[in-house]
Chains A and B, each alone.
Chain A
Amino acid sequence: GEDVEQSLFLSVREGDSSVINCTYTDSSSTYLYWYKQEPGAGLQLLTYIFSNMDMKQDQRLTVLLNKKDKHLSLRIADTQTGDSAVYFCAESRGGEAGSYQLTFGKGTKLSVIP
């Protein structure tokens, strides 16, 4: 079955880069996602990467995918206090009629120290 694992906590200083890592087990995953959740709030889609890509960059965010090792990472450059949140890695499995069922990791709580 699917399983997505992430480290639970990460603490960085403001201005430094943050790297959040994730491993997954389902080799048939088509897309891999990063969602951000602030306290008491919903899940904000940050970015996603197609499984046949190895890198995607979007402003301060860089996603790296090593499909052979089933390893996904999210790098946040110039981390700000507003980046403090829980970051969820998720893999998708294509379902019926083009729907995608997501399996989430436990989430990594990023704390940014001013």
Chain B
Amino acid sequence: AAGVIQSPRHLIKEKRETATLKCYPIPRHDTVYWYQQGPGQDPQFLISFYEKMQSDKGSIPDRFSAQQFSDYHSELNMSSLELGDSALYFCASSLSGQNSNTIYFGEGSWLTVV
């Protein structure tokens, strides 16, 4: 079965640069989540979208923004990168309705800021 696809899998950026991560949810899933997992840490919720509208906001820095497009894919834009932004960024998706609690994660995008 198709899973959540994230790209790129690995990214190296310098401080103060920008980065964009992409997420393609499982087909027919209309809800997308972004999580950040620092080294040795638990994943932290950043933001979520349902039907192209922001549905929930967590600990997402003001330097970050995200959106969900008409084909339901999502992009996380990160600007003025800091060393502390180095982390594994997960996208997850679910289908609204009866099974909306079933949340599937992608393999993650490794961002290294140098």
B-binding residues in A (CB < 8 A): 30-31, 33, 35, 41-45, 48, 50, 88, 92, 95-107
Contacts and interface: CB of A to CB of B under 8 A. Distances in A.
A96 B106 contact: no
Nearest to B108: A42
Given A31-B101, A42-B90, A102 B106 contact: no
Given A97-B96, A99-B50, A100-B94, A45 B45 contact: no
B50 A96 contact: yes
Interface string B63-91: 00000000000000000000000000010
B50 A98 contact: yes
B5 to A, nearest CB: 11
A107 B101 contact: no
Contacts of B102: 45, 48
B18 to A, nearest CB: 24
Interface of B: 31, 33, 35, 41-45, 48, 50-51, 53, 55-56, 58, 90, 92, 94, 96-97, 100-108
A100 B92 CA distance: 11
8 contacts: A43-B92, A43-B108, A45-B102, A48-B101, A96-B56, A100-B103, A104-B42, A105-B42
A45 B58 contact: no
Contact of B33 (A30, A31, A45, A99): A99
Nearest to B104: A45
A101 B96 CA distance: 13
Contacts of B53: 97
Contact of B100 (A33, A98, A107): A98
B90 to A, nearest CB: 6
A100 B107 CA distance: 19
Contacts of A104: 42-44
Contacts of B35: 102
A92 B43 CA distance: 13
Nearest to B42: A104
Q: Identify the interface centre among B56, B58, B108: most chain A CB within 10 Å of its CB.
A: B56
A31 B99 CA distance: 11
